[in-house]
Amino acid sequence: MPTINLLSREISELIAAGEVIERPSSVIKELIENSIDAGSRHITVEIKRGGSTFIRITDDGCGIAFDDVPKAFLRHATSKITTKDDLNSILTLGFRGEALASVCAVSKTEIITKQAEDELGTHYIIEGSDEVLHERTGCPDGTTIIIRDLFYNVPARQKFMKKDSVEGNMVCGIVNKIALSHPEIAFKLLRDNKLEFSTSGDGKLYSAVFAVYGKAFAGDMIPVEYEQDGIKIHGFTVKPLYSRANRTFQNFFVNSRYVKSQVCASALEEAYKGTVMTGKFPACILMIDIAPDVVDVNVHPAKVEIRFSDDRPVYDCMFFAVKSALMKAGLVYDFQLKQQTIAETSQETYIQPKLPETAPKQEKQDMIPEVPETEKNQGRFAEKNIALTTQSSPVVSYSSPAPVKAPEVPETKEPAEETTYTSLPPCTEDKYRTEGNTASENYIREIRKEIKEETETENTDNSSDNSSEVFPEEDSLTSKYSFINSNDLKKKDPEVTPDPVLEKPKLKYIGEAFKGYIIAEAEEKIIIMDKHAAHERIIFEKLKSEDRDPASQLVLCPEGVLLSLDEAHALEENTKVLENMGFKLDFANSPYISVKAIPTIIAHLNMDEIIPELADNFRKNMRDPRPEAIDDILHTIACKAAIKMNDSNNDTELSKLAEEVYFNDRIRHCPHGRPVMFVISKYELEKQFRRKV
């Protein structure tokens, strides 16, 4: 029989500490909360090496009396509750009396503290829960607490610590959020002796957001002020077009405490429904004031998830608060989305030949209206350019060009059974050829599968067949696709250039079908090329070819893009990769990134969209930067930058594109694996017309 032993004080302290203290950011959260509870007006946080070796928090709060200092470091020692009734109306951030006990168990802790009414303060040192010093000292009012060598006595815990920079980012993230939640307190954060940010403490939420997230973010905010069922919500949300690739910038505070709340996030996103693209998330800084007795405070202090006794009123209040703010700002609207695009219908008809439905599909309403490329060229497409309506069944209309109409799509049939299209011969990537099946049969099978998956993610553009109404002048379009101009062709990728010794076969451009398919003739074959897939693949190849100088273009007025600390860090870690792609980013004001140069090929794109997407992708793949992950990023960029089905392109452009693609053996599929072209041989035609048997 095993004997049962009581754990020593030291071991039980370490176990208990592990529940509250996970990493430097959790220590800092607890210590700042103590400073706030102490009524401080100024709080300064300093960290070194991500907080693993040094944390110092200085406040001007009420301080602790000489005799109380050792007590404060005992477990379940708190000045914040005395009776069990206090639990129901708790307004302070801490109340369990566990933080200091936990911190001192796993670090070397020093505290210098003085109450205003006392003449002398206290100097106290405690290491691994053992008191080392307790004496009186002269010091200013308030408390300074220093934590050295976190987890020095718990090596297992040390192993779980991430790189200093990552831990440091987490600390910044926490301090950011706490600073936002208390605009009446002046916060300062120093990281390795460098000032990260400081807030003024003027009590205005706007000032705090400005200090923490920067001018551009603050400038894009919409005020929220709402009250319902005794719940008050105030703060800011952002313009729908300023939505992000993840939820990092969603900040909810309940009774001034930063929380994570599924209820609040769902209500916020529901209010934005139809105005932000699927996969994008609105940012916000919203304060919820609610009676403390309906909030479950008994959730573990280290966790930020919150529970309400009844979710419904909170959800409703959040939804209406945001929705009405957006409506007031004229930014929310129920819109009839673009009609089905040719690209979509062509994919569908490929699978199942049929005409597109004229009514928009319900689920498509989640998407943002597509804006023609030329408008995007004018910078982030300004809300003023979009005439928005809030009536019952309005249609989004752009000031210019005219509303988008449903394309008329001719009925396309699947290739007839007996027709065999051969894919081009020297194609290393032709994974579709298998024994017993023709390439086309396997293509179709694969493609059907892939298209199904892809339609969920790929965002096809522009949807009208009426070029005179919808598409801008050709000139502007031509200039946009600079890769097609002759200069660009001259300095073609060496890999793309065919062997100069061999005489280059000629490609004769015949025309374009359905505003999406290039038809050309070469080497006794008719070539049918998907112009979007072809262009996308070319851009992808250009971005991917790291061994040459990517054509990069300096940005005259560098655009600033605000990222989360993690995202900015992920980009900074990948500077080399980004440079190889043609990006030059300045991290001096990180996480506010200034875009100095961009790949020429995507110069017409909106950096506010591209950079956060890049960053999010790098962030997700930080620990595992596989080549496929980089490819994913490049696909996204290439897809956005490529010409789209239904774009109006002139013959010169298309014939150049066809040439470039046809003579590059590597380009036979788009980056998503769809085929770029089919060929029908002359022999095949002759067979079809019974000229040959």
**Residues at the interface with ligand ADP (CB under 6 A):** 30, 34-35, 38, 59, 61-64, 72, 77-80, 94-101, 143
3-class DSSP assignment, residue 503: coil
User: Binds 673, which of ligand ADP, Mg ion, none (CB < 5 to 8 A, cut-off by type)?
Assistant: none
| Token duo for residue 275 | 């105005």
Min dist. Cβ of residue 208 to ligand ADP (A):
21
| Token duo for residue 400 | 């210019």
Residue 34 within binding range of Mg ion, rule CB under 5 A: yes
3-class DSSP assignment, residue 339: coil
User: Binds 61, which of Mg ion, ligand ADP, none (CB < 5 to 8 A, cut-off by type)?
Assistant: ligand ADP
State the Cα–Cα distance between residues 492 and 79, nearest whole angstrom. 73
Residue 94 within binding range of Mg ion, rule CB under 5 A: yes
State the Cα–Cα distance between residues 112 and 657, nearest whole angstrom. 72
Using the contact rule CB under 5 A, the part of the chain among 93-101, 199-207, 366-374, 560-568 near Mg ion is 93-101
Min dist. Cβ of residue 33 to ligand ADP (A):
7
Q: Which residue has the tokens 């009420």?
A: 62
Q: Name the packing angle between helices 531-544 and 651-662 (round to 10°).
A: 60
Give the CB-nearest residue to ligand ADP. 94
**Which residue, 122 or 574, is less far from Mg ion as judged by CB?**
122
Min dist. Cβ of residue 100 to ligand ADP (A):
4
State the Cα–Cα distance between residues 36 and 625, nearest whole angstrom. 40
DSSP designation for 498: P
Give just the sign of the alpha carbon dihedral 578, 583, 586, 587: negative
Surface-to-core class of residue 9, CB atoms within 10 Å of its CB (0-12 exposed, 13-18 middle, 19+ buried): exposed
How many chain residues are in contact with Mg ion, going by CB under 5 A? 3
CB–CB of 226/284 below 8 Å? no
Residue 99 within binding range of Mg ion, rule CB under 5 A: yes
Min dist. Cβ of residue 136 to ligand ADP (A):
17
| Token duo for residue 509 | 């451009």
Q: CB neighbours of 40 closer than 8 A, spacing ≥ 6?
A: 59, 60, 61, 142, 185
**Which residue, 58 or 349, is less far from ligand ADP as judged by CB?**
58
**Which residue, 58 or 590, is less far from Mg ion as judged by CB?**
58
Angle CA(270)–CA(273)–CA(278) in degrees, nearest 5?
A: 115
**Which residue, 31 or 637, is less far from Mg ion as judged by CB?**
31
**Which residue, 60 or 659, is less far from ligand ADP as judged by CB?**
60
Backbone angles phi, psi at 360, to 5 degrees: -70, 150
User: Binds 97, which of ligand ADP, Mg ion, none (CB < 5 to 8 A, cut-off by type)?
Assistant: ligand ADP
User: Binds 59, which of ligand ADP, Mg ion, none (CB < 5 to 8 A, cut-off by type)?
Assistant: ligand ADP
State the Cα–Cα distance between residues 259 and 256, nearest whole angstrom. 9
Min dist. Cβ of residue 614 to Mg ion (A):
39
Beta strands across the sheet bearing 284-289: 221-228, 231-238, 284-289, 250-254, 257-259
Site string for Mg ion, 444-483 (x = CB under 5 A): ----------------------------------------
- CA nearest 234: which of 187, 183, 274, 272? 183
**Which residue, 306 or 342, is less far from ligand ADP as judged by CB?**
306
**Which residue, 11 or 116, is less far from ligand ADP as judged by CB?**
116
Min dist. Cβ of residue 148 to ligand ADP (A):
17
Pairing of strands 307-308, 295-296: antiparallel
Stated as kind and residue range, the H or E segment containing 501 is none
Min dist. Cβ of residue 30 to Mg ion (A):
5
Give the CB-nearest residue to Mg ion. 94
State the Cα–Cα distance between residues 340 and 85, nearest whole angstrom. 60
**Which residue, 99 or 306, is less far from ligand ADP as judged by CB?**
99
**Which residue, 64 or 533, is less far from ligand ADP as judged by CB?**
64
Min dist. Cβ of residue 136 to Mg ion (A):
24
Min dist. Cβ of residue 98 to Mg ion (A):
8
**Which residue, 70 or 214, is less far from ligand ADP as judged by CB?**
70
Backbone angles phi, psi at 557, to 5 degrees: -110, 95
User: Binds 273, which of ligand ADP, Mg ion, none (CB < 5 to 8 A, cut-off by type)?
Assistant: none
User: Binds 562, which of ligand ADP, Mg ion, none (CB < 5 to 8 A, cut-off by type)?
Assistant: none
Min dist. Cβ of residue 20 to Mg ion (A):
9
